[in-house]
Amino acid sequence: MHLPARLTPRLWAPLLLALATTLAGCLPSTSSSKSEAQGTNRLVVASRNRVDSVDPAGAYTFGAMQLLSAVGDPLYVVTASGQLEPRLALAPPQLSADGRTATIPLRRDVRFHDGTPFDAAAMVFSLERFLAIGKLSYLLGDRVEAVRAVDSHTLELRLRQPFAPLAELLSAVALTPLSPTAYRQHGRRLLNERFVGTGPYRLTFFSKQQQRLEPFADYWGRSPANDGIDLVSLSNSTALFGALTSGEVDVLLSTSLEIDQQAALRQRSREGQLLEGSGPALEISYLTLLSDQPPFDDPVLRQALAYSLDRDTISERVTLGLRPPLRELVPPSLPGSDPTAWVRYDPDRARSLYRQAGYCQGRTLQVPLTFRSNIPSDRLFALTWQAQLRQDLGDCVQLDVTGMESTTAYRQLGEGAFTLILLDWMGDFPDADNYLIPLLACEKEEQNRCLEGASAASGSFWAQPGLQALLQRSESSSGPERSSLLQRIQRITAGAGPYIPLWLVAPRAWAQPGVSPPSFDGSGRLQLQALTRTGAGTEAGTGAVRP
């Protein structure tokens, strides 16, 4: 299979001329053009991340979380080195003897963007609002039974059962506090186009394609190193690539940028034309097998398919090595990972298993693979794997590939509509629990079939007696005991084969040479407040231009 040829600068020229005009109309009129921005320390950051809601209770996309991380503060943060640090909290949660009550001291020097003081009552208001109307309310509701203010700056959480990664959970940006003054009068309804929090930036303009951020003068922590950020969403990868290479934007996020163009930008950074930064690889891509229906209700065939996946070759051909092969469901950077849980490519072993199931001897297993048609790398993966199987195991198995728009596929996933489908997942907080529970948890099972729970919603419908108890034990354990349990859970899952991990995705960003190198926090979000022009003659964070 041949990858698309890279576009040359000569072919880009007509596009860039049109793009420069188009992009200027995409940015807020108050400081949208590059020529105006050059005299200030404002920066334009582009991505393909359309933001439908800036309300933490209604936001769930990567773009929305990136925005919230700039305008809000969680109780805890994960640093670039993976360490957990208090942010609005003053210390780690203090747990009761039975592990079911957590007490958290809060900062006293924090104000919301509207001037309202931050305190325990404001945190309780925000968490209760999230529990009542949040699209991701299960994040908190499955673990926390009640919240209350012990005093003006002490928060208490009553847990349903001991939960070891509580601080990691409370680093989820969706749990950022909101000003009760600004939100209480609106009752329990979403405010999709406004935000009043405590973060280093205020949101002063919002549309689904663009947002304007201004430094918050009364921020309790370190002020942003720039005079503000304009976040811009462009509709396709070609426009994004052209916007950066033409100099119309200062920083470009890799989200939804085609692999070939990412590789071209990486090469430019190696040549000194751009600056590249990357964050922790917390997004996993994997195959889901419908394990309660033929043919993959047969565990032998599930294992045969696992041995049939040549991750190394596919990663190189499809992603040009930008997405390393993955053989586990937990990102390698997190405690509890098990980098060798799933089997490697072994066509001889695969053939033996296919024969055991009655194939390869004049009978070919026809497998329908669904890929998300709006994600270019999905299609390339499907065609590459199809060709690899045809070459190495064509007398045993054949892939029939079909594309479907992602939102349509997600709606049908829990209905058992797909025999085999390629998906991805990034946890809402960086902990193994937030990777295994969404794929494996099952509330009602019948032998090896999940009738209700996350396993059914994820499209595999797989269950195994005793696995749910192990998941619950891992939630309440810590240290080496927890890591051992998490690895055991992965080994059990790998042996049964309802999922096949494919590759690992790290966020990347590229900046113009006159901008500081992009950096990411431990949750995989670009640190907007650290960006600054390095040669524009501005005083970082002050908005004052040097003479």
pLDDT over 70 (residue 154)? yes
Rounded average pLDDT over 295-306: 98
Q: Left if phi > 0, otherwise alpha if psi is -120 to 50, otherwise beta: which for 320?
A: left
Please tell me which residue, 33 or 98, carries the higher pLDDT value.
98
Span 344-384, pLDDT tens digits: 999 999 999 999 999 998 999 999 999 999 888 999 999 99
73-196: CATH topology = Dipeptide-binding Protein; domain 1 (3.90.76)
pLDDT over 60 (residue 529)? yes
Query: Residue 527: CB partners within 8 Å, gap ≥ 6?
Result: 518, 519, 520, 521
Domain 283-505, CATH among 3.40.50.300, 1.10.1840.10, 3.40.50.2300, 3.10.105.10: 3.10.105.10
Domains 9-53+199-280+508-547 and 73-196 belong to one CATH topology: no
Query: 60: which 2 tokens?
Result: 């769930």
Rounded to the nearest integer, the mean pLDDT of the chain is: 90
The count of C-alpha atoms lying within 13 angstroms of the C-alpha of 224, restricted to the half-sphere facing its C-beta, is 27
CA 277, CA 518: separation in Å to the nearest integer?
A: 5
Q: What are phi and psi of 35, to 5 degrees?
A: -60, -35
Contact yes or no for 208/50 (Cβ under 8 A):
yes
Burial (Cβ within 10 Å: 0-12, 13-18, ≥19) of residue 7 = middle
Query: Residue 385: CB partners within 8 Å, gap ≥ 6?
Result: 309, 310, 314, 369, 399
Contact yes or no for 191/71 (Cβ under 8 A):
no
CA 299, CA 60: separation in Å to the nearest integer?
A: 34
Cα 451 to Cα 378, 433, 447: the distances in Å are: 29, 21, 10
Strand ranges in 290-441 using DSSP code E only, listed in sequence order: 365-372, 397-404, 420-426
pLDDT over 60 (residue 1)? no
9-53+199-280+508-547: CATH topology = D-Maltodextrin-Binding Protein; domain 2 (3.40.190)
Per the confidence metrics, is the pTM higher than 0.75?
A: yes
Q: Where do the domains of the chain lie?
A: 9-53+199-280+508-547, 73-196, 283-505
CA 18, CA 135: separation in Å to the nearest integer?
A: 39
Q: What are phi and psi of 515, to 5 degrees?
A: -120, 150
pLDDT over 80 (residue 332)? yes
DSSP 8-state code for residue 187: -
Cα 241 to Cα 7, 13, 481: the distances in Å are: 11, 12, 46
3-state secondary structure of 93: coil
H helices of 216-270, in order, are: 237-245, 259-270
Nearest to 76 by CA among 216, 179, 172, 199: 172
pLDDT over 70 (residue 105)? yes
Span 68-81, pLDDT tens digits: 999 999 999 999 98
Look up residue 396 and give its amino acid: C
pLDDT for the residue 535: 66
Look up residue 508 and give its amino acid: R
Span 455-514, pLDDT tens digits: 999 999 999 999 999 999 999 999 999 999 999 999 999 999 999 999 999 999 999 999
